[in-house]
Structure 1
Amino acid sequence: MATFGCSDTSTSVDTLDNSQADSAETAADAAGTLEIRANGEDFVRQGFVSKDGWEIEFDHVYVTLADITASQSEPPFEPGKGELVALQQVELSEPVTVDLADGDETAEPVLVGEIESVPAGRYNALSWALTPATSGPAEGYPLVLVGSATKADAADATPIDFQIRLSEAPAFTCGDFVGDARKGILTADKTADLEATFHFDHIFGDADAPATDEINTGALGFEPIAQLAEDGVVDVDSEQLEQSLSASDYQTLQTVLPSLGHVGEGHCELID
């Protein structure tokens, strides 16, 4: 199994302080509601500039998640450091398609689903798989990117409209959410949430980061995609990308796609 994150530095797993631990220790029959959310971050909702100078705006980013399982793991699961040992697990039973671009920059991460009557405790691991959508605008594909891109320094700055339909379907097992606050601490009669996070700068890079940063040296960028435009439009699927991209660019894409999955800035392990 491969481990992916935003750096080579492993993510440490915090222990609960006494107040958090006390609140998480409840009677055996205590239960609450656990929300599962998905987040494409500001890159999706606000747009960003790729490593090669393309201003990318997303209209839709459809992802279809399946086999979503939240776990109370002990010891706390850390990707790449052993098997997940679950004391408690709950799951969403059906695949769900969401649009990560839905809402503005102030919107909450998209609700995938909620599980009621969940045993209280600390849910410190999350796993999910991408799977082809069975209906709707993403039908047949696990991941569909729809938007436009404009070369920032181009004389005419003519936008390219794109629709990229990806058939790759990686599956992830992730540890604790890493962000401003921990997630998944569920107490009796309350609601907690967990988040599946997608880092699309891993595909396109980020002009705000140094060119030598790993986020850029390992990224495809948008220029290879732009070169496939016909009459100002890129409309491709994975098979067409394999045929049309250079061998090295296609290999780069295949290398970065499994690194999309995170929990905030927390790392995930790719399930073979």
Structure 2
Amino acid sequence: MLLSVILLFFQLWGNVEVSSSQIECLTLPDVPHANISEETKRIDYHGGHVIHFTCEPGYNTSGPTIRYVCTSEGWLAVQQESCSPEKCKVAGVPDGVRLNTHVLDNQLRQGQNLRFECINPKDTLRGKAVVECLAGGQWSDPFPTCGAPLGCGTSPSLTDGDTTETLRFHHRHEERVHYRCQNYYTMEGEPYKTCFNGEWIGQIRCLKPCTVDEEAMRSHNIDFRYGSERKIYVRHNDRITFKCTERRQPVGTLGMRFQCVDGEVHLPTCQ
């Protein structure tokens, strides 16, 4: 124990490396989220050898470098330091924006959120109202700004659909543009998109109809139960009833009535 104290004293106060072949540290200390510094890495370690650890990206220490010295008692920490996740600094909040979150020491830990609002109730928040502290002290999004609501450019296109009005290159905040789907297509969602502070919001889909023709039915030995058409279009969610052709019997137990689901319909088989 006396030798350990002497070695540590020289290392801390005299900055002198003391080696002793009678003392050997066979395994490195386990420092979570840290790696040994290349400058202090050796093939083997004897009494008085000092090693330094540096934190992995996204982690840091609150004090001096993490150091260990090899003693007769094994590795002894020179400072009781550890690597902790970097915190996100709360700085540079734009003018006109108010924090709606209590923040201690102007920093948050990973996983915590910042909430923002506009000081002037007539202004609109531009950007995310909530940002999250990520690993490495990074924010999930830039801090938002506040100002008069922004307009939008040309309304977005709709697959298998179109707008019901003339194309325009500018729209005001909260202005709506109405859409319609192509013939036989079924609209899912509200029939419009709204300009909101520079972004178009609103979810619309045009769901495909199903097509069943004579060739497809012939390959399955089936026909339409009702009507004499050789080809039909069926809207999404509508059902079709089939029958086997003469002297044929259905295969399986699923029946002969099937639903159209976004352009796909299961055809029964007869033999």
TM over 0.5: no
Task: State the TM-score, normalized to the length of structure 2.
Answer: 0.25
**Which of structures 1 and 2 has the bigger CA Rg?**
2
Q: Which one has more relative contact order, counting CA pairs under 8 Å at least 6 apart?
A: 1
- Please identify which structure carries the higher helix content: 1
